Amino acid sequence: MSSNLQTVAIKPSVATSLSYMRQPFVPASFVAEGPLSTQFRAEQEPALSEATQNVLRRIANLRSPTRPSMFEAVAQSKGIEEMLFDATAEVKVLTSRVAMYLDATWRNKLFAQIDSLHDADEWEHDDKPLQRDSFATFLKAICDIKPKRRPGLGLTHNGRLIAAWTKDASRLTIEFHPGNRVRWVISRTLDNESEQFAGDTNVSRLRTSLQPYKPEEWFAA
pLDDT for residue 192: 83
pLDDT bucket at 78, cuts 50 / 70 / 90: low
The model's pTM is 0.67
Report how far residue 176's alpha carbon sits from residue 137's, in angstroms, rounded to the nearest whole number: 6
Which residue type is seen at 138? F
Ordered by start, the domain boundaries in the chain are 28-219
pLDDT for residue 130: 96
Q: Is the dihedral of CA 210, 214, 217, 221 positive or negative?
A: positive
Express each pLDDT in 34-76 by its tens digit: 333 344 344 444 445 565 555 555 555 544 454 554 555 555 5
Report how far residue 201's alpha carbon sits from residue 95's, in angstroms, rounded to the nearest whole number: 23
* Measured CA distances, 182 to 131, 158, 167 (Å): 14, 15, 21
Express each pLDDT in 165-205 by its tens digit: 999 889 999 999 999 999 999 999 888 888 999 999 999 99
